[in-house]
Amino acid sequence: MTRTVYVNGEYLPETEAKVSIFDRGFLMGDAVYEVTSVLDGKLIDFEGHAVRLERSLNELDMQPACSKEELLAIHRKLVELNDINEGLVYLQVSRGSNGDRDFVFPDPETTKPTIVLFTQNKPNLADSPAARKGAKIISIDDIRWGRRDIKTVQLLYPSMGKMMAKAAGADDAWLIEDGHVTEGTSNNAYFVTNGKIVTRPLSTDILHGITRAAVMRLAEEAQMEVEERLFTIDEAKEADEAFTTSASAFVMPVIEIDGVQLGDGTPGPIAKRLREIYLDEARKKAI
Ligand code: PDD
């Protein structure tokens, strides 16, 4: 099926959508993005993603491409036009194109941002075979830039990390900086020991996950103990269980780290419970 996508105010078949070769997203990685999941044809955590988008744009002195209300309307229209029951909406805003290549930012008065949205149909997003099995993780150095709190499209190293994981027979990678785990290539990282959930505190070192915020609130509401602190990969390897969170995989149990099996090698009870609670609440609050 040819998708209908959104580019700068127009809904078009994906085959007809065009962006300039001089677009700074393309030439410089000068763009930010958001991924919002869809369950039962409705948007999950839209408000959180919209607020983070605004923050990313602000941090980079980029113009808002449109209002939050317009953004919601575009998301909803694409979900409807593409008949998405379960899946994702990808949104990207770049600093646009002034018709040439230059390191200097173009004048925002004359160069408008480029905004692109498209949907991805994922019928098994909630009832995911990968989540039933759990993920195998390897650890690799974190050599990304220093502003990981800004959700930029500079995803080459995370892509390489996923390829390194694949080559090692694993599913994903966790990133290590100064001896501590920062986060996963495209998710936030947690381990659980004696019922206590441990994850790295928010800073410019990691993306402030929208799913992280929801899952930590739900964990506390369910009387689970949550501790935000730096942790090493060895602590995670010795843990009872581990998991990651993201908009595209919700709560994903981790069953192996660097070849070391966690627990009995199946998804742990806390990760499974948090996935259930999160999905339940996400469906109730979806818009
Ligand atoms: N990735 N950390 C990184 C580096 C990420 O890329 C992501 C999301 C997260 C989790 O954030 P959230 O819960 O808001 O999705 C953490 C998205 C899903 C992606 O790149 O596809």
Domain of 98?
Answer: 4-121
- Say yes or no: 19 and 111 in one domain: yes
For residue 248 and ligand 1, the question of a CB distance below 6 A is answered with yes
- CATH number of the domain that residue 153 is part of: 3.20.10.10
Does the Cβ of 251 fall within 6 Å of ligand 1? no
The backbone torsions φ and ψ at residue 192, rounded to the nearest 5 degrees and listed phi first, read -130, 125
Distance 70 CA to ligand 1 centre (A): 23
Nearest protein CA to atom 3 of ligand 1, as residue: 186
| Domain end (from 121, 143, 172) | 121
Distance CA 268, CA 261 (A): 12
In a shared domain, residues 116 and 231: no
Q: What is the pLDDT of residue 10?
A: 98
Same domain, 133 and 114: no
**What total number of domains does the chain contain?**
2
Residues of the chain with pLDDT under 50: none
Query: Are 151 and 278 within one domain?
Result: yes
- d(CA 278, ligand 1 centre) in Å: 16
Give me the pLDDT at residue 1, please.
79
Residue where a domain terminates, one of 121, 146, 171: 121
37 CA to centre of ligand 1 in angstroms? 11
Report the CATH number at residue 115.
3.30.470.10
Task: Verify whether residue 151 is a known catalytic residue.
Answer: yes
pTM above 0.95, yes or no: yes
Q: Half-sphere exposure of residue 276, counting CA atoms within 13 Å on the CB side? A: 9
Residues 180-202 have pLDDT tens digits of: 999 999 999 999 999 999 999 99
- Residue 110: name the closest of 121, 99, 102, 120 by CA: 99
Residues 159 and 140: their CA atoms lie apart, in Å, by 12
Q: Are residues 140 and 267 in the same domain?
A: yes
- Among 92, 121, 150, the domain-final residue is 121
pLDDT confidence of residue 65? 83
56: Cβ below 6 Å to ligand 1?
no
CA dihedral (178, 255, 204, 97) positive or negative: positive
CA distances from 185 to 48, 139, 148, 188 (A): 20, 10, 11, 8
